Chains A and B, each alone.
Chain A
Amino acid sequence: MASEPQTSFNEEFVIELKECAKLLTEKLQSNQFEEASVLIHTITQARDRHIFQSVGRLTRGLHNAIVNFNVDADLSKEPPKIANSDIHDASNRLNYVIDLTQKAAEKTMDVVDEAAPIAMNLGQEASNLRTEWARLKRREMGPDEFRQLYDRMDDFLGQMVTGTGQISKNLQDIVLEQGFQDLTGQVLKRVIGLINDVEKDLVSLVRIAGQVEEIAGLTDDSETIEHDAEIMHKRKIEAEGPQINKERADVVSGQDDVDDLLSSLGF
């Protein structure tokens, strides 16, 4: 959005106003009431003109924002029906991220569910064989038992080869599944870019709106101030999702912190 020299417009108006005011005082002091009246009319007209110009800048700014973000909307509907837009696109991309990460997590857990029993069984059998082997070493084993152990060991070695082969493949599959991070990272970067652009434009619009308020003589009334305070209060206990800034004073830094906080309150 092009940044126009906004302050000069208001300044221009103020200069015009000051000159008229000086002239008005002169007219009044010299009892030229009719001319003074005309002057008041002129001042009012100038103010109105400036308000309209500021409002025009504001609407132009809003229009540019809608164009900038490719908003394709039917504004005649109540509420307006948005068919398409950059933000719509960004939403879709974010849903894609949720989808992709969920699939990767599920697939990874499936692979682990496959590998875990193999590892457990091999471990169990190894443990059992170890007990038997210890008996053998202590010469507590008869020839029949030894023959069984002999065959069992052979089986076990076979299981180890197959089992560890399977587990290796599973581990490799898990690593591959993490590839989602690349795709999701790319998508997220684009969305971050869009959000920053939206914020920039909003701030620009707020600035123009501020100028309109200034000229029109609108100020923060007590109702607005009260309403803002209410919103700030609600924000304190509002859900925010995972905290990423550990430096924040109002946020705990881990489970230990949570436990300390709760026990300090007597829970």
Chain B
Amino acid sequence: MKILIVDDFSTMRRIIKNLLRDLGFSNTHEADDGVTALPMLKNGDFQFLVTDWNMPGMTGIDLLKAVRADEKLRTLPVLMVTAEAKRDQIIEAAQAGVNGYVVKPFTAQALKEKIEKIFDRVG
């Protein structure tokens, strides 16, 4: 499965990449902002998007909305991994069509569970 990891902190991208690799997903790519991620997704044939919320160019929530609005990317499974923890934000992400929401700091177990849940649903 081809996965795109988006976060403006390289440390976090590395951590998520390592955890995904431990779960058996080694075909991972990275972007440091929604702005650079969107064209990658449009031209890419990615099957899973893992994104942070807070990014300087285009935020994760805006990236999510752009993905859901794009004809080709509409059904792309999206997992948000973010420090944003306000109820209103979580609700906004859910209403915008996010498939899972992991709050930082997170455990490897939490990440694993959410990913399994997403792909059980999508099938």
Which residues of A line the B interface, CB within 8 A?
Answer: 101-102, 105-106, 109, 236-237, 239-243, 250-252, 254-255, 258, 261-262, 265, 267
Contacts and interface: CB of A to CB of B under 8 A. Distances in A.
B85 A251 contact: yes
A26 to B, nearest CB: 62
Which 6 A-B residue pairings sit nearest by Cβ, starting from the closest? A242-B83, A105-B11, A243-B85, A239-B54, A267-B94, A236-B88
Interface of B: 9-11, 14-15, 18, 53-54, 59, 83-92, 94, 101-104, 106-107, 110
Nearest to A262: B94
B94 to A, nearest CB: 5
A258 B110 CA distance: 11
Nearest to B84: A239
Contact of A250 (B53, B88, B102): B88
A250 B86 contact: yes
Contacts of B102: 255, 258
- Among the interface residues A236, A250, A267, which one has the most CB atoms of the partner chain B within 10 A? A267
| Most chain B C-beta atoms within 10 Å of own C-beta, residue among A239, A240, A265 | A239
Contacts of A102: 9-11
A198 B84 CA distance: 27
Contacts of A236: 86, 88
A239 B53 contact: yes
Nearest to B54: A239
Contacts of B92: 237
B122 to A, nearest CB: 14
Contacts of A239: 53-54, 59, 84, 89
A237 B95 CA distance: 13
Contacts of B90: 252, 258, 261-262
Contacts of A252: 85-87, 90, 103
Given A242-B83, A251-B87, A255-B102, 20 more contacts: A101-B11, A102-B9, A105-B11, A106-B10, A106-B14, A109-B11, A109-B18, A236-B88, A237-B88, A237-B89, A241-B83, A241-B84, A242-B85, A243-B83, A250-B86, A255-B106, A258-B102, A261-B91, A265-B91, A265-B94
